[in-house]
Amino acid sequence: MIAVITGDIINSQQADTEVWITRLKNLLQHWGSAPDAWEIYRGDEFQLKCGIDDAFWRFLAIKSLIRSQENLDVRIAIGIGEENYSAEKITESNGTAYIHSGRLLDELKKDGCTVAVKTSSDSVNRDLNILLKWSSKDFDSWTVATAEIIHEMIMNNTSTQEDLARKFAISQSSVSQRLKRAHYDLIVETNQYFKKKIAEL
Distance CA 100, CA 121 (A): 11
Give the residue with greater pLDDT, 163 vs 13: 163
For helices 55-67 and 122-139, the axis angle rounded to 10 degrees is: 30
What's residue 172's pLDDT? 92
Q: How many angstroms separate the Cα of 20 from the Cα of each of 7, 16, 195?
A: 14, 7, 29
pLDDT tier at 131, thresholds 50, 70, 90? very high
pLDDT tier at 78, thresholds 50, 70, 90? very high
Distance CA 124, CA 119 (A): 7
Report strand pairing: 38-41 vs 73-81: unpaired
What's residue 26's pLDDT? 96
Among residues 120, 155, 174, 118, which one has the least CA distance to residue 27? 155
Give the residue with greater pLDDT, 112 vs 195: 195
Question: How does DSSP assign 182-197, residue by residue?
Answer: TTHHHHHHHHHHHHHH
Distance CA 171, CA 50 (A): 36
What's residue 32's pLDDT? 95
What's residue 13's pLDDT? 83
115, 76 contact by CB (below 8 A): yes
pLDDT tier at 157, thresholds 50, 70, 90? confident
Give the residue with greater pLDDT, 105 vs 14: 105
- Which residues are CB-neighbours of 103 under 8 A, at least 6 positions away? 118
Residues 17-48: tens digit of each pLDDT: 888 999 999 999 999 999 999 999 988 999 99
Mean pLDDT within 123-137: 94
**pTM (predicted TM-score):** 0.95
